[in-house]
Amino acid sequence: MKKLIYIPISAVIILFYLQALWIRNMHQNYCVQLTQSIDRAITSSIIKELELRTYSPYKNPNNPKLIYKHAEEMSSEERKRLKGDTINLDMLAKKNISTNIAEAIMQIQQDICINKKQFIQMARLDSIFKKRLYDIKIKYCILLYDKDTTIIQKAGDILPLDDHKIKETKLYPLGTRCLQFIQVKAIIPLTSFLTDMFLIIIESILLTIIILGYVIFLVITIHKKDKLFKRREASVNGTIHDLKSPLNSIITLMSFIKKKVPDIHTQQLVENTERQARKLVNEIEALLITARKDRQKVYLQKEETDLVLLVTEVAQEVSMQHSHQPHQIKMESELNELNLMLDPLYVRNVIRNLVENALKYSDDGVQIIIRISKKETQAIFTVKDNGWGIAPKYKKKIFTPFFQVPREQMAHQRGYGIGLAYTKYIIEAHGGNISVESIPGKGSLFICKFPLK
């Protein structure tokens, strides 16, 4: 139950991380969009400033200074009369000076102005640029560079040169010879981003708070359920443990009565009662060990035990107890005896669980084959049956405490899901392991391995 608490806590951490990442990305996109707006504003401002600097009314409107024609539209005489520079648009595009004829003409006009010493007016450019920004509230500085990118002149606000928040535009060449450049540097404050995105951020934060509230409620509920479960578990375990005392008393009493009663039929009834009481005690012990295995390690009282003899005895006992069910149990052993250091009480219960399961989850007439062998450093004990089998998806789950393989009919739903979990725990406590091979409808094979030493 405690592990479940980490799931909502991890979810909250991930949620806050994603929230911060989303706001960061939003801010980056905002800065990119604002920089693009500044680019457009400074480009149009440079064009406007050039127009104002070179503006003069035509003396004769019928004879303008600039005529634009495609080469195909010109006659051979007009081409001969052409004088002036040739514009190579491809070369200008490669140098990032212009991308079309209009920009090329503007850059040539910049060359003419620079030759005439009519340099760009930074104060006028600043005034135009402010108007082009419209409602964008930023601190900026317009810089004029020479061909060596040395600052000649500035306009606008004074900005700290080492501020990492400063965003800058590309260098805009003035003229085709790139003798001068214009660049804008601006500080985009976080406050402007927060102001523009206020409603979206508030909605996102509120949603996060609501989710956080639900997660906190879930954690508190899980914690309360965990405490309640622990109290209930302790109560149930205590009750189950207390049942062992009267059952042991019954076993002792049945042993005494069996000796005193002369009637054979009565002795058989008493012996059967004693056997059932012992079985119930073993089941209680298995339940307590399985329930406490995560908190309390089982204490093994190992002694030299003949595994062949132990398996034979348990098989005979189980066969007698289930004499009402038609079955056949066959022992196959390569060895007459196999002495191991085991806790005979716990291992006896393990063998009983496996053989009884083979009987429980099979139809009448089941055939059970028990094999004992030795291989290298391990003793191998297997129980094979031709019963109902186990579906592949349940093979790993059957050793989980209180898990039962779902059956089509409740009449086939036998046991409590304790036996195999107990079996696995006891075998592993001896340093061994257990595995299963099964085909639905054809039976199962349980393989138990114990270390020889």
pLDDT of residue 310: 92
- CB-CB neighbours of 370 under 10 Å: 22
pLDDT of residue 295: 59
Spatial distance between the Cα atoms of 355 and 58, rounded to a whole number of angstroms: 114
Residue 156 β-bridge partners: 141
User: In whole angstroms, what is the distance from residue 231 CA to residue 238 CA?
Assistant: 11
Nearest to 447 by CA among 427, 430, 431: 427
- Distance between CA atoms of residues 315 and 384, nearest Å: 13
Query: What is the enclosing helix (H) or strand (E) of 90?
Result: helix 89-94
The arithmetic mean of pLDDT across residues 286-307, rounded, is: 74
Given a contact cutoff of 8 angstroms between Cβ atoms, the answer to whether 236 and 243 are in contact is no
- pLDDT greater than 50 at residue 148: yes
Structure tokens at 110: 């910049």
What pLDDT is attached to residue 104? 82
Q: Can you give the pLDDT at residue 448?
A: 95
Residue 450 has pLDDT above 90, yes or no: yes
Lowest mean pLDDT among 21-25, 110-114, 220-224, 339-343: 220-224
CB-based contacts of 413: which residues, under 8 Å, 6+ apart?
404, 406, 407
Quick: pLDDT tens for 364-393: 899 999 999 998 889 999 999 999 999 988
Residue 55 reports pLDDT greater than 70:
no
Q: Are 422 and 349 in contact (CB under 8 A)?
A: yes
Q: What is the mean pLDDT of the chain?
A: 81
pLDDT above 50: residue 434: yes
The predicted structure's pLDDT at residue 239: 57
- Residue 414 banded pLDDT, cuts 50, 70, 90: low
Q: So what's the pLDDT on residue 383?
A: 95
Q: Is the pLDDT of residue 411 over 50?
A: no
What percentage of the chain has pLDDT greater than the value 90? Answer: 21
412 or 43: which carries more pLDDT confidence? Answer: 43
The pLDDT-based confidence of 408 (bands split at 50, 70, 90) is low
Q: Which of 329, 334, 368, 343 is nearest to 446 (CA)?
A: 368
Question: What is the crossing angle of helices 264-292 and 419-429, to 10°?
Answer: 70
Helix (H) or strand (E) segment spanning residue 172: strand 172-174
Average pLDDT rounded to a whole number, residues 73-92: 71
Say yes or no to pLDDT of 394 above 50: yes
Radius of gyration of the chain (CA): 46
Share of the chain above pLDDT 70, in %: 83
Q: Which two tokens stand for residue 378?
A: 């391990």
Q: Which of 5-14, 67-76, 208-217 has the lowest mean pLDDT?
A: 67-76
Residue 443 has φ and ψ, to the nearest 5°, of 120, 180
Mean pLDDT of 318-331: 88
pTM confidence score: 0.49
Highest mean pLDDT among 40-54, 102-116, 182-196, 411-425: 40-54
Q: Is the pLDDT of residue 71 over 70?
A: no
Q: Nearest-CA neighbor of 345 among 267, 399, 282, 419?
A: 282
SS3 331: strand
Residue 336 is classified by DSSP as S
Determine the pLDDT at residue 410. Answer: 42
**DSSP assignment letter at 341:** E
Give yes or no for residue 1 having a pLDDT over 60.
Answer: no
